[in-house]
């Protein structure tokens, strides 16, 4: 993912984490809740993983199995492009064996990008029927709206979110600048999501710092961390997140989904190892490490 990347000016950027949004203080209770740090990427089939994260010669049918030995969750982009039947979903689950692994499916673009949201009931039902087959492997569901979906259409969004089943965990990523640049829209967004029990995706990308809003509307975090790969600023930004997560964990954060988006895939293995070392993860056993 290169959304808001701005790699041409990366060396000149000052990228500290902003202070917490007001809603974060309302959401975190102040009581530490031990939980696993879930780290993943946007998929298991990236060609750069072969010979780095995966043994060279790994067959396509074995990619998800290898991935699940290293990571304990995945940002499932496949569901963004197609609604999968329960049978296909169960095959993915089988490949992860008995590991503590979570699939975080993205809402299909036919709903998020190509509908009014208010006319998406049939497709939403089909999508939810398919991913129900994940059973206890189902993590948070991720609704990503396009950069052109502005607060002008907020009623569509809020009504759609109200229609979603409350027993499932949903996160929303909004990208249009007016969601965060307009103070009243920003406050209404966070207040609405908090009232509905829906999370706000935090996207840490160099060129769109407004999406790094630091607003926790539920005591769970879905972070999309966009890095260049092999750059000094990647490490600095990662250490800043370690400090912030330590604070949020002490104040009651209950779940953490940390998705790595490394622009240059040849650095993915090295950056993953850096994450492991910083957070004290046991190699190939991320599911065993608790905060």
* Among the ranges given (139-143, 263-267, 270-274), the one the predictor scored with the smallest mean pLDDT: 263-267
Look at residue 289 and tell me whether its pLDDT is greater than 50. Answer: no
User: pLDDT > 70: what percent of the chain?
Assistant: 96
CATH homologous superfamily of domain 36-279?
Protein of unknown function UPF0759 (3.20.20.410)
The tens digit of pLDDT for each residue in 278-288 reads 988 755 444 43
Q: What is the pLDDT of residue 1?
A: 66
Residue linked to tokens 């009014």 = 116
Q: Which sequence spans correspond to the domains of the chain?
A: 36-279
Please state the pTM of the whole predicted model. Answer: 0.93
Mean pLDDT of 272-277: 88
Q: What is the pLDDT of residue 282?
A: 57
Q: What is the pLDDT of residue 160?
A: 98
DSSP string, 45-66: --GGGBTTTB-TT--GGGHHHH
User: pLDDT > 90: what percent of the chain?
Assistant: 78
Look at residue 203 and tell me whether its pLDDT is greater than 50. Answer: yes
Three-class SS string for 211-280?
HCCCCCCCCEEEEEEEECCCCHHHHHHHHHHHHHHHHHHHCCCCEEEEEEEECCHHHHHHHHHHHHHHHC
Mean pLDDT of 107-133: 97
Asked if residue 189 lies in contact with residue 213, where contact means CB atoms within 8 angstroms, the answer is: no
* Pairing assessment for the beta strands 170-173 and 141-144 based on DSSP bridges: parallel
Q: Which long-range contacts does 45-51 make (Cβ < 8 Å, 24+ apart)? A: 46/265, 46/268, 47/265, 48/265, 48/266, 48/268, 49/265, 49/268, 49/269
Of 103, 88, 84, which Cα lies nearest the Cα of 42?
103
| Sign of the C-alpha dihedral computed for residues 55, 57, 62 and 64 taken in this order | positive
Mean pLDDT of 243-261: 96
Instruction: Share the mean pLDDT of the chain.
Output: 92
**Phi, psi dihedral angles at 172 (to 5 degrees):** -125, 135
Q: What is the pLDDT of residue 205?
A: 93
């Amino acid at each position: 993912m290169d959304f808001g990347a701005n790699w041409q000016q990366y060396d000149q950027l000052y990228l500290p984490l902003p202070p917490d949004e007001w809603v974060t203080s309302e959401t975190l209770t102040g009581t530490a809740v031990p939980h696993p740090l879930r780290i993943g990427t946007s998929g298991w089939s990236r060609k750069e993983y072969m010979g780095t994260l995966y043994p060279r010669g790994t067959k396509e049918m074995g990619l998800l199995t290898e991935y699940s030995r290293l990571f304990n969750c995945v940002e499932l982009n496949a569901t963004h492009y197609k609604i999968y039947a329960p049978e296909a979903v169960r095959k993915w689950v089988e490949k992860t064996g008995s590991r503590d692994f979570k699939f975080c499916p993205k809402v299909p673009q036919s709903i998020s990008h190509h509908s009014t949201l208010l006319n998406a009931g049939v497709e939403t039902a089909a999508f939810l029927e398919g991913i129900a087959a994940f059973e206890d492997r189902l993590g948070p569901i991720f609704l990503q709206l396009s950069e052109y979906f502005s607060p002008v259409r907020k009623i569509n969004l809020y009504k759609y979110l109200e229609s979603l089943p409350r027993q499932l965990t949903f996160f929303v990523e909004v990208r249009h600048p007016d969601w965060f640049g307009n103070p009243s829209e920003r406050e209404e967004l966070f207040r609405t999501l908090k009232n509905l029990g829906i999370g706000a995706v935090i996207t840490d990308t160099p060129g769109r710092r407004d999406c790094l809003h630091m607003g926790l509307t539920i005591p769970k975090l879905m972070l999309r961390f966009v890095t260049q790969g092999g750059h000094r600023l990647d490490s600095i930004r990662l250490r800043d997140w370690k400090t912030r997560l330590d604070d949020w964990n002490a104040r009651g954060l209950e779940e953490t989904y940390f998705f790595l988006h490394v622009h240059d895939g040849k650095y993915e293995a090295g950056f993953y190892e850096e994450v492991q070392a910083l957070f004290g993860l046991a190699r190939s056993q991320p599911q065993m490490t608790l905060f």
